[in-house]
Amino acid sequence: MSRRTPILVSLLACLAALILPAIAGAAPAPAENIGLHVGQLRGGKATILSRVPVRGVISPFVAGERVDLLFFRNGRQVGTETVQVRKGPGSKGKFDTRFLVRRGGRFAVQAVHEASAGQQGAASKREKFGVSFPGIGGGQCGKVVRGFKRGLSKLGYVPGGGSCMSDRAERAVLAYRKVNGKGRNQHAGKGIVKRVFAGKGKFNARHKGVGEHVEVSISKQVLVFVNKKGRPVETYHVSTGKSSTPTVTGRFEVYRREPGTNSHGMVHSSYFVGGYAIHGYPSVPATYPASHGCVRVPIPDALHIYEKISFGEPVFVY
């Protein structure tokens, strides 16, 4: 071997080092780390129906790269969003999005960068957070109230529309409390709001499989319209007969309907046996049965209930 051979080999190696990257492309930049931050949390929790900001950085910044944000609820992945990496401070790249919290549970988010021609792969740790639920009182308004009322409607209560807690919505809360054995008032505490958003607390009809009918639960003091599938579609707060004049129990059918107000102050009456009727009345106590045997409903609900009850409608009282 001549003395020129090592020099020639060295020159060829240097030439290859210059030419091959141009042919094959530069080596991917290392993704040294990905940092992630979930904002607007109080005590590690986001408020239900809030839009939680998710921000992150990846180092170093490489133009054109993307990051996948993985969202988890109670340990299961529930969604993915791909976001563009933008130029951040110094040599870092940055990315962000907002996550709408629709349900309760334990949430987590993780940022993942899949290896590409421009940058190596990397992943952040999972950032975890819970969900908080506010109590809702009369007159309150907002998106949480709207979502709460929507949840009540799905469970078969009648809170009405809009984003404010109206008198009608408060009566729906009272009916919910009665069905679920809670204190009989019109305030939706944090626990009730959480249960409603979770889809819990509907009335369990006793007489399923008999078609559309009305059920009156004396123990719970509610009147419920039940559909053909045995599901509650409308649940109302009522007051039945006091101990000295109890409401009769059994299976009945509406045999007489009387609109308007009669001489006894009964409003929009639907009679189901003898002189016993479902009717509106000014006094419908929340905490005790007070009628002379009839099923009293609040005056603001009386016309709708009257119009919904058909002649011959089965009525189960128990």
Inside any domain, residue 28: no
CA 194, distance to chain mean position in Å, is 8
Over the range 108-130, which residues count as b (16 or more CB within 10 Å of their CB) and which as e? Answer: bbbbebeeeeebeebbbeebebe
Inside any domain, residue 317: yes
| Same domain, yes or no: 157 and 245 | no
| Same domain, yes or no: 42 and 109 | yes
| Same domain, yes or no: 87 and 140 | no
| Same domain, yes or no: 232 and 139 | no
Question: Averaged over 179-203, what is the pLDDT?
Answer: 98
Per residue in 23-58, pLDDT (tens digit) is: 344 456 665 689 999 999 999 999 999 999 999 999
Task: Give the domain CATH number at 315.
Answer: 2.40.440.10
| Same domain, yes or no: 61 and 123 | yes
Per residue in 269-287, pLDDT (tens digit) is: 999 999 999 999 999 999 9
Per residue in 215-252, pLDDT (tens digit) is: 999 999 999 999 999 999 999 999 999 999 999 999 99
| Same domain, yes or no: 119 and 158 | no
Inside any domain, residue 4: no
Inside any domain, residue 238: yes
Q: Which pLDDT value is given to residue 30?
A: 62
| Residues 56 and 96: beta-carbon distance below 8 Å | yes
Which one of 201, 236, 252 terminates a domain?
Answer: 201
Which one of 86, 110, 132 terminates a domain?
Answer: 132
Which one of 184, 201, 218 terminates a domain?
Answer: 201
Q: Which amino acid is at 233?
A: V
262 pLDDT band, cuts 50/70/90, is very high
CA distance 57 to 61: 9
Inside any domain, residue 170: yes
| Same domain, yes or no: 171 and 117 | no
| Same domain, yes or no: 228 and 157 | no
| Same domain, yes or no: 114 and 140 | no
| Same domain, yes or no: 158 and 191 | yes
Inside any domain, residue 5: no
Alpha helices (H) along 143-232: 143-154, 167-179, 190-197
What's the number of domains the chain is made of?
3
Task: Give the domain CATH number at 107.
Answer: 2.60.40.10
Q: Which pLDDT value is given to residue 24?
A: 44
Q: Which amino acid is at 188?
A: A
Output the CA–CA distances (angstroms, integers) from residue 315 to 23, 213, 258, in the order listed: 84, 6, 17
Q: Which amino acid is at 245?
A: T
Q: Where are the beta strands (DSSP E) in 208-305?
A: 213-217, 222-226, 232-237, 250-253, 256-261, 267-273, 276-281, 295-298
Q: Which pLDDT value is given to residue 7?
A: 40
| Same domain, yes or no: 100 and 208 | no
Per residue in 71-107, pLDDT (tens digit) is: 999 999 999 999 999 999 999 999 999 999 999 999 9
Global confidence as pTM: 0.85
Inside any domain, residue 263: yes
| Same domain, yes or no: 223 and 293 | yes
Domain encompassing residue 180: 134-201
Inside any domain, residue 7: no
| Residues 317 and 224: beta-carbon distance below 8 Å | no
